[in-house]
Amino acid sequence: MVKKSCSVFLSRFYFYGLELWACFFGISLDATSVALLGLSLVLISGVLTFGEVLAEKAAWNILVWFSALVMMATLLGKLGVTQFLAEALGEFASAMGLGEISIIIFLSLAFLYTHYFFASTTAHISAMFFVFYSAGLALGAPPLLYAFIMIASGNVMMALTHYATGTAPVIFGTGYVTLKKWWSIGFVISIVDIVVMIAVGLFWWKILGFY
């Protein structure tokens, strides 16, 4: 009965925590503050003991390495490294004298695989999407077609690594998949998606009149 009550209380704490994080009376609260508040309430109410919290080794493991990667990615953006990289790749594509479809493929691949250097899909897209898209348009890429391919690349990149998006570390932390297997499968999936986009997507988008 006690375990059932604790489970109910814990579920409620999760729900209220999400509400606070998303929006509380029109005021958005910092995710870290909400997490610490939720943890404090869980400990004070006795739903979990501090020993049980410390025993969650997978969660602490994720907190240590993933937070460091997120911080590094944020600093790279603030220092202008990501924008410099995107602009350099755009200039390289221009110097190669590629056709419009070749430019789209080159820049989309560059946009996709630079995600290995990011610990957040949101951070990557926020920092590099506009720069890559602007570079492609300046080189003559069809706007609508290029936008669709860039958006598709933003979805594909989420499976590349065990830190590619916010949910990936949690899934990886369960221990069902090794690091090598995750990266290998992620890369293979990206290749399959690219082949489908080129072989089928370009043909279909041509029919729709995107270019």
Tens of pLDDT, residue by residue over 137-185, are 888 888 888 998 998 998 899 889 988 887 888 788 788 889 999 999 9
Task: Return the axis-axis angle of helices 57-78 and 121-138, rounded to nearest 10°.
Answer: 30
Q: Is the pLDDT of residue 24 over 80?
A: no
State the average pLDDT over residues 183-191. Answer: 94
Q: What is the pLDDT of residue 95?
A: 78
Q: Return the beta strands (E) in 78-190 as ranges.
A: none
Q: Is the pLDDT of residue 89 over 80?
A: no
Determine what percent of the chain is predicted with pLDDT higher than 90. 11
On whether both 34 and 112 belong to a single domain, the answer is no
Tell me the whole-structure pTM to 2 decimals: 0.67
- Segments forming the whole domain that contains residue 50: 1-55
State the average pLDDT over residues 42-60. Answer: 77
On whether both 108 and 201 belong to a single domain, the answer is yes
On whether both 142 and 198 belong to a single domain, the answer is yes
On whether both 190 and 91 belong to a single domain, the answer is yes
User: In the chain, how many domains are there?
Assistant: 2
